[in-house]
A and B are shown apart, each in its own frame.
Chain A
Amino acid sequence: MPYGYHGRWLHVQLQPLQATEQQLPEEVLRRFLGGVGLGTWLLLHLEAWRHEALTPQAPLAFVFSPLVGSPLTTSAKFAVVSRSPLTGRINDSLSSSRFALAGKRTGYDALVVTGQAPELSVLVLDSGGVRLLPAGDLAGLSCSATQARLQQRLGPEFAVAVIGPAGEAQVPFATISHEGRHAGRGGAGAVLGAKRLKAVAVHGDRHVRWAHPEQMAALAQELAARSLGPETAKYRQLGTLANVSVFNRLEVLPARNFQESSLPGAERLSVEQLRQDELPHERESCWACTIGCEHRYQPPGSTGSVRLEYESVYALGAMCGVEDPQAVLRAAQACDEAGLDTISTGATLAFAMECVQRGWLDEPWLRFGSAEALHRAIHLLVTGHGVGKLLALGSRRMARQLGPQALAIAPQVKGLELPGYDLRRLPAAALGLAVNSRGADHNRSSTYEVDFATDAPQGDEQLVRQAIAREDQAAVMDSLILCKFLRGVFRDFYREAARMLWVATGWNLSAAALRTTARRIVTARRLFNILCGWQPQEDELPPRVFQPAASAANPSAHLDRRRFERLRRLYYHQRGWTSEGWVPLEQLQQLGLDVVASALQPE
């Protein structure tokens, strides 16, 4: 058995309840590492493309990594990987803290659930094996109430991942929550809900061995010291909310469903204003993290505090035209409690607001700038009452019901709602979101870094090369799994990642080998999508980003359609794919992905 891993995964079938231990060959671990990479391998291995996301047979994988349990900063993370009910394509969400540590201590590198429980249940995995506990009394409870109830019932030694009412209702952008943090994007919570699981609880005492524990301790100490440097200062001192005022001034803060690229009252939502107003505030961090990026604010009249991130303020605030920080705080809290992705929720509501504005949807109360409408719409979305049933489809499916004109303004790629980067001025980000396997997701691509770089690319070929480099690095970080906020700390990422793997596993991997691993993981995710039925027209952006924002100071600030198409062609070329984005069989063979290549052959 390799160091750092258990070398096996557990397949839990829910009805009849059965747990089967499966070996993980070292070759697979070397090729896919863990997290997002190993999760993708599991989906391919289980032929998950054959099942729609919300069917009982669809696998849902909780995947750990070789670094979980180590003292390396930010390493207490896990990935939740499945087919997405929102996009129909691959989905891999990350979350962190005790569930990662306790989950790996069960003795498995991944836990895969298939089937459907006979009734709403909690899946428990501990040294006694797996069992289902009835959870009828938890039906309809919020994420935090469910968590509290289960910790009381099972004991504090268990770590629990739960869904809220949104997951139970199978809203396709429902999250899985763990101690207030969310595996947020793409609807993993709906997949768990479709299996009639309100929660998964894990506890174990099986530790892995480290190949070089002394060197690991030294490396952890050194990395921790570096993690407190200027590269992470923004996250420690202010959090991601620091983006609001800056992005607004740069006109890259999407507002009112991407009709605008800034919001006149956005300063009210800025961290500078919240601090100046002395809103009660506290800072927290994930387990095994030295950065501590979480900044929580307490809404007036509330006993609890809310973790406030830039993306939540973008989606629930700027996108919906809501400038009242208290209203946005309460909306973020409502999403957290219901178990809803704040980005998809806010963007879908903003899309609906514009449909009302244009007369395509007869809900006159649902208008931009109304805090009351924002809160009412979230409530309806969760309960499924009235227009809530439509809102709960997400922007793409909702648009399909409203007509082709609505689809043109739906803020999504592959069905996943856009994050808070106005693509009109950010060509690398635009490319990254268009081609990404998960859809409009900034975390798996990180290509926006190219747009903000001080060493601006010289020409489009270099831009694409740099975008691919960011995407590849993200694939390895998400498989190790390490927090993205560490990225600025690394001086030579692949060399340092190889060293981390060496202290954990003993593998003597070269930086070049890890670069190939990155390519393999990116390509495997695309391969999964192709097997799901991906078509070239899916690597597309909403038409709106090719037009200027309504009130842009510089009307020429928009993405040129022909340039975007050129960037996409260059991307495919540099990836070694066909001009339409298909992966040639030879490349699959080179990357060791040809085991499923036969499925790509035309019938």
Chain B
Amino acid sequence: MGTTTVELFGLARLRTGVRRVELPPGTLGQVLQELQRRLPALAGWCVQDGRLAPGFIVSVNRQYFTQDPQVELAPGDVVLLISADPGG
């Protein structure tokens, strides 16, 4: 069975020292729960109990942005965990 890839950016990457994690597919909520279990340094400020903390969104396959924990992720999907504010 394939995996879903989560890529980390910004503080999430700096605080965990991890750029990319392969996780079992499922809903976004399930993937985030597993992400928090593997990388506890993200707990609270970035992900919490299968949800994204305010200020964060994910890009799914660079096609759309979501915060919805019910979104189904398939094997091979790539999720970018990024700030919700794209201002520059």
Where the two chains meet, the residues of A that have a C-beta atom closer than 8 Å to any C-beta of B are 229-235, 237-238, 240, 242-243, 245-247, 249-251, 271-272, 275-276, 309-311, 314, 419-421, 442, 446, 448-449, 451-454, 456, 484-485, 487-488
Pairwise interchain contact A243-B7, C-beta atoms closer than 8 A? no
Option from B56, B68, B82, B88 in Cβ contact (under 8 Å) with A311: B88
A487 to B87, CA, bound (A): 10
A245 to B83, CA, bound (A): 12
- Which has the most chain A C-beta neighbours within 10 Å: B57, B66, B80, B86? B86
A276 to B17, CA, bound (A): 10
Option from B14, B54, B64, B65 in Cβ contact (under 8 Å) with A231: B54
State how many angstroms separate the Cβ of A211 from the closest Cβ of chain B: 31
Pairwise interchain contact B80-A234, C-beta atoms closer than 8 A? no
Q: Helix, strand, loop or mixed for chain A's interface?
A: helix
- Which A residues are CB-close (under 8 A) to B67? 454
State how many angstroms separate the Cβ of A232 from the closest Cβ of chain B: 8
Pairwise interchain contact A238-B10, C-beta atoms closer than 8 A? yes
Pairwise interchain contact B86-A449, C-beta atoms closer than 8 A? yes
A234 to B9, CA, bound (A): 11
Closest residue of chain B to A485, judged by CB?
Answer: B87
A309 to B88, CA, bound (A): 7
Closest residue of chain A to B68, judged by CB?
Answer: A454
State how many angstroms separate the Cβ of A438 from the closest Cβ of chain B: 16
Pairwise interchain contact B53-A237, C-beta atoms closer than 8 A? no
Given A229-B54, A230-B54, A249-B80, A452:B86 Cβ within 8 A:
yes
Closest residue of chain B to A426, judged by CB?
Answer: B86
Pairwise interchain contact B54-A242, C-beta atoms closer than 8 A? no
Option from B10, B53, B59, B66 in Cβ contact (under 8 Å) with A234: B10
Given A231-B55, A234-B55, A419-B88, A454:B66 Cβ within 8 A:
yes
- Which B residues are CB-close (under 8 A) to A449? 86-87
Pairwise interchain contact A272-B83, C-beta atoms closer than 8 A? no
- Which A residues are CB-close (under 8 A) to B53? 230
Quick check: is B74 within 8 A (CB to CB) of the other chain? Answer: no
A586 to B11, CA, bound (A): 52
B: interface residue count bin: 20 to 34
Pairwise interchain contact A272-B14, C-beta atoms closer than 8 A? yes
Pairwise interchain contact A456-B65, C-beta atoms closer than 8 A? yes
Pairwise interchain contact A246-B88, C-beta atoms closer than 8 A? no
- Which A residues are CB-close (under 8 A) to B80? 246, 249-250
Option from B59, B64, B82, B86 in Cβ contact (under 8 Å) with A448: B86
Pairwise interchain contact B83-A276, C-beta atoms closer than 8 A? no
- Which has the most chain A C-beta neighbours within 10 Å: B7, B64, B65? B65
A234 to B45, CA, bound (A): 12
A485 to B86, CA, bound (A): 10
A442 to B88, CA, bound (A): 9
Pairwise interchain contact A245-B85, C-beta atoms closer than 8 A? no
Q: Which of B7-21 contact A (CB under 8 A)?
A: 7, 9-11, 13-14
Q: What are the 9 A-B residue pairs with the smallest beta carbon separation, nearest first? A: A230-B55, A310-B88, A234-B83, A230-B54, A452-B86, A240-B88, A242-B10, A243-B88, A454-B65
A235 to B55, CA, bound (A): 11
State how many angstroms separate the Cβ of A307 from the closest Cβ of chain B: 13
Q: Using an 8 Å CB-CB cutoff, how does the interface string of B39-77 with A read, 1 for contact, 0 for none?
A: 000000100000001111101001011111000000000
Pairwise interchain contact A250-B59, C-beta atoms closer than 8 A? yes
- Which has the most chain B C-beta neighbours within 10 Å: A237, A311, A420? A237
Closest residue of chain A to B8, judged by CB?
Answer: A272
A247 to B9, CA, bound (A): 11
Pairwise interchain contact A249-B66, C-beta atoms closer than 8 A? no
Closest residue of chain B to A275, judged by CB?
Answer: B14
Pairwise interchain contact B88-A453, C-beta atoms closer than 8 A? no
Pairwise interchain contact A271-B10, C-beta atoms closer than 8 A? yes
Option from B9, B64, B82, B86 in Cβ contact (under 8 Å) with A456: B64
Pairwise interchain contact A240-B87, C-beta atoms closer than 8 A? yes
Given contacts A242-B9, A454-B84, A484-B87, 13 further A-B contacts (CB under 8 A): A230-B45, A230-B55, A231-B55, A237-B10, A237-B11, A249-B9, A249-B80, A421-B88, A442-B88, A452-B65, A452-B84, A456-B64, A485-B85
Given A242-B83, A449-B86, A454:B55 Cβ within 8 A:
no
- Which B residues are CB-close (under 8 A) to A484? 87
- Which has the most chain B C-beta neighbours within 10 Å: A309, A419, A449? A449
State how many angstroms separate the Cβ of A488 from the closest Cβ of chain B: 6
Pairwise interchain contact B9-A272, C-beta atoms closer than 8 A? yes
Closest residue of chain B to A312, judged by CB?
Answer: B88
A377 to B13, CA, bound (A): 36
State how many angstroms separate the Cβ of A430 from the closest Cβ of chain B: 15
- Which A residues are CB-close (under 8 A) to B88? 240, 243, 309-311, 314, 419-421, 442
State how many angstroms separate the Cβ of A478 from the closest Cβ of chain B: 14
- Which A residues are CB-close (under 8 A) to B11? 233, 237-238
Closest residue of chain A to B57, judged by CB?
Answer: A454
